[in-house]
Structure 1
Amino acid sequence: MPQSRPFVLIDRDGTLNVEKHYLSDPDQMELLPGAAAALRRLRDAGFGIAVLTNQSGIARGYFSLDRLEEVHGRLRALLAAEGVELDGIYLCPHGPDDDCDCRKPLPGMVLQAVAEHGFDPRRAFMVGDKEVDVEMGLAVGATTFLVRTGHGHKFVAGTKAHHVVDDLAQAAEIILAART
């Protein structure tokens, strides 16, 4: 059986786009500097790219799933303008007390992406700005990165991440170097 392409799993808020408290307005979607270029380099090198995001604002009634789809449409449009296409956006719409299996740090979103794309999560890379992102990656055997953007600066001292990097661009450099 041929090896599937490796995947980079990316947290959304604070890792890919500027952190905004419960982002629900598509016009406020703003990519972090260098994020699209980093994704383009990964895509050009043959990596699959999936965004994994907890969105408890839905469960809390702050915005609807339809509104979130508008935000993700804007995200896809901003990335497309930079030559980047995502393989998928996976979300957990539940609150912290909803007892689901998809809320980070649980691996539900990763397992959904694996089911749809057939990649080995142990060959994947998880990039995020919170320790729950790192823990989710570790739960499936992925190589993990904590970025210092977004909330990342708060977790550096106690992180379990394999790598601590300044941003998504620096994570991409390490991922690409590891491939050679």
Structure 2
Amino acid sequence: MKLLVLDRDGVINEDSPEYIKAPDEWHPIPGSIEAISELSRAGWSIVVASNQSAVGRGMISVDTLNRINAKMHRVVAAAGGHIDAIFFCPHHPEEDCECRKPKPGMLQEIAHRYHVNAMDLIMVGDSLRDLEAVASMDGMPILVRTGKGKKTEAAGNLPLNTLIFDDLQAVATYLLAHDMGMSVFPK
């Protein structure tokens, strides 16, 4: 199985320091929807793994989050693609839960549900916590320079073997050119 895990805000859609609190605040990053569509048509399973502390902070309800994610599903489907599942951590950062990245709980659940070895997970993110979560399981971290990505890259301290691309479209181009899943990455 070719499984790609994506962070949402800053990878698929524009991020906001005020959080994405309504469907009309959700705007895709240019090329991201096309990238998801190309990958899903090529047989990749696409799963989103996102910290959504706006729920735990009382800024939005789970229903509102579901409406935001439904918009994302519709936009991807309209472009001929498919997102297989969305996993999210709704907790406030101070709750110290196991599902909030950089802890690996959410990614462990994805590996379990999709029957893949955790070491075979590929995660695309724009923040260090995304990369640390997948690296802690010996999976493949990929940083994109969209969202907080340029700042994350400039700060350094990236996990070993992190690959860096300008955006999700560049990641898709790389994966589709190699079409070999985890074997395209150095270990």
TM-score (norm 2): 0.89
| AA aligned opposite 2:149 | G
Per-residue CA deviations over 1:58-116 (Å, capped at 9, x if unaligned) read: 11111111111111111111111111111100000011110210000111111222222
Match of 2:92 in 1: 95
Q: Which runs of 5+ in 2 are unaligned?
A: 181-187
The match for 2:38 among 36, 41, 66 is 41
Query: Higher mean Cα deviation, 154-163 or 126-135?
Result: 154-163
The match for 2:10 among 14, 38, 43 is 14
Does the aligned pair in 2 maintain the 1:56–1:94 contact within 8 Å? yes
| AA aligned opposite 1:179 | D
- Give the 3-state SS of the residue equivalent to 2:93 in structure 1: coil
| AA aligned opposite 1:58 | V
Does the aligned pair in 2 maintain the 1:55–1:92 contact within 8 Å? yes
Does the aligned pair in 2 maintain the 1:6–1:123 contact within 8 Å? no
Question: Deviation of residue 13 (structure 1)?
Answer: 0.2
Match of 1:113 in 2: 110
Measure, in 1, the Cα distance between the counterparts of 2:114 and 2:164.
27
| AA aligned opposite 1:167 | D
| AA aligned opposite 2:169 | A
Identity of aligned residues (%): 36
Does the aligned pair in 1 maintain the 2:111–2:121 contact within 8 Å? no
Match of 1:84 in 2: 81
Query: Higher mean Cα deviation, 128-137 or 155-164?
Result: 155-164
| AA aligned opposite 1:95 | H
The aligned length equals 176
Q: How does 1:32-71 map to 2 (within 5 A)?
A: 32-71=29-68
RMSD (Å), alpha carbons? 1.4
Match of 2:184 in 1: none
Per-residue CA deviations over 1:128-155 (Å, capped at 9, x if unaligned) read: 1000011011012221111110011111
Query: Higher mean Cα deviation, 110-119 or 21-30?
Result: 110-119
Query: Higher mean Cα deviation, 101-110 or 117-126?
Result: 117-126
Measure, in 2, the Cα distance between the counterparts of 1:42 and 1:137.
20
